[in-house]
Amino acid sequence: MTNSSRYRFIILIFVSAFANIMIAQNPIITDQFTADPSARVFGEKVYLYPSHDILANEERGRIGWFCMEDYHVFSSDNLTDWIDHGVIVSQYNVPWVNSASYSMWAPDCIYRNGKYYFYFPARAKDAEPRKGFRVGVAVSDEPYGPFKPESEPIKGVFGIDPNVFIDEDKQAYLYWSAGKIFVAKLKENMVELDSEPMLIENLPSEGLIEGPYLFKRNGIYYLTYPHVENETERLEYAVADNPMGPFEVTGVIMDESPSGCWTNHQSIIEYNNQWYIFYHDNDLSPDFDKNRSIKIDSLFFHEDGTIKKVIPSLRGVGVTDASRKIQIDRYSNIRDEGTSVEFLDAMDTFGGWKVILEDENSWVKYNSVDFGAGNFNSVHVKALSSEGGIIQLHLNDVSSPVISEIKIPAGNDWEIINTIVPGLKSGTHNLIVSLKTGSRIEIDWINFN
């Protein structure tokens, strides 16, 4: 171990003692359901403030509907390793919230004058059942808390999905939705409106619109929002040269999910000179779309400032260290025939997925694996094959030379197979796994040593 890797290892152990670390591609949080991601760059890190879906039952919430009792915050400095800092606000510690409403929907957070302001919707104590969403604020000295909730919701705001934007002239704006999108100025104290709520006009008049998220790039204000144009939500945007409009509907950022997940909800940030979109789908709960999971993909602009449509990926973003478990079921590309992805255990989806190679010549590609200085000389593969077979590894492309052949023994249990790989290259490469012989090989992960 070099001094710097020893130092990183010690830090990792130290942080692990206080928070839960996840290493994941898409979805990025795999030990709980998360939705409505609001990502923010604070200092050197990205902080993620999502909703926290749980499953309603006889004792909590409304069966078959959204059920959320609290919020966690997550942080990362590489968009791959996420630290869960735990619960920051819950329905049990906000004085004005109905603590049996399980209605803590999409939040947001922003920094101003040394404080972090966390905005969240919830049903108020005095509201009619299933109605009465208000928006509250909790304040902290740090992005990960502790957050202290204000005793009352923001006066004049009735609705969900708060989003806050502070312009270069320091004026803050609060956006929220109530079937349509509204905006008002915020006072410098960030907890009171400084103007009457205004309906944002010129957005689609048919179909629910919610989840506003505004960002600015090159002087253009982009108002992004989920909208039901057809049967489920897709992500769209409108642009303006003023944060309060008038906005002009400009395009679709992401089509409806083929999974059928009825909602989607986005945030868009620039981090280390790359733009990213955070959104959600129901990857970990394919049969129930109120238990969702957050994903990230890169976002690009055309020369004229319009947004290129994002095709959701499983691979997500970031570079994966070759020594980590490379989850090739989160592939960047796959041969259509003779390949499939299934949960390792359909009864416990938090356990993740496996890839199955069934046809000779079937392959799966996982991009951006970092082999460092080229000091790796063996590979571990966790695999299962009742009849056994041989898989091949290639770097960069499936037509590139085979760097290793790995014999998977016949058996009915998962095995970790270790194979020497001499002369592994340094640097960052795509990793391709192909089937040479065998009728069905299941692979959980691969890593290099």
- Residues with catalytic annotation? 36, 210
Q: Is 102 in the site for ligand FUB (CB under 6 A)?
A: no
Q: Which residue is nearest to ligand FUB (CB)?
A: 105
Q: Is 61 in the site for ligand FUB (CB under 6 A)?
A: no
Q: Are 352 and 326 in contact (CB under 8 A)?
A: no
Query: Residue 223 forms beta bridges with which residues?
Result: 214, 238
Q: Is 265 in the site for ligand FUB (CB under 6 A)?
A: yes
Query: Residue 125 forms beta bridges with which residues?
Result: none
Nearer residue to ligand FUB within complex by CB, 91 or 320: 91
Nearer residue to ligand FUB within complex by CB, 136 or 389: 136
The DSSP letter of residue 350 is G
Q: Is 293 in the site for ligand FUB (CB under 6 A)?
A: no
Rounded CA separation 37/162 (Å): 12
Distances 288 to 33, 62, 88, 262, 282 between C-alpha atoms, Å: 11, 14, 26, 10, 7
Residue 104 Cβ, how far from ligand FUB at the closest point, in Å?
9
Residue 65: exposure state from Cβ atoms within 10 A (0-12, 13-18, ≥19): exposed
Q: Is 105 in the site for ligand FUB (CB under 6 A)?
A: yes
Q: Is 70 in the site for ligand FUB (CB under 6 A)?
A: no
Residue 249 Cβ, how far from ligand FUB at the closest point, in Å?
19
Nearer residue to ligand FUB within complex by CB, 263 or 385: 263
Residue 72 Cβ, how far from ligand FUB at the closest point, in Å?
14
Query: Residue 72 forms beta bridges with which residues?
Result: 87
Q: Are 119 and 164 in contact (CB under 8 A)?
A: yes
Taking alpha carbons only, the member of 100, 97, 70, 71 closest to residue 152 is: 97
Q: Is 108 in the site for ligand FUB (CB under 6 A)?
A: no
Segment 135 to 194, residues that bind ligand FUB, using CB under 6 A: 160-161
Q: Is 51 in the site for ligand FUB (CB under 6 A)?
A: yes
Query: Residue 281 forms beta bridges with which residues?
Result: 293
Residue 53 Cβ, how far from ligand FUB at the closest point, in Å?
7
Residue 267 Cβ, how far from ligand FUB at the closest point, in Å?
11
The DSSP letter of residue 68 is B
Residue 5 C-alpha from the chain's centroid: 28
Nearer residue to ligand FUB within complex by CB, 140 or 282: 282
Nearer residue to ligand FUB within complex by CB, 225 or 276: 225
Q: Give the pair of three-digit tokens for residue 74.
A: 């997550």
Q: Catalog residues that contact ligand FUB under the rule CB under 6 A.
A: 35-36, 51, 66, 105-106, 160-161, 210-211, 263, 265
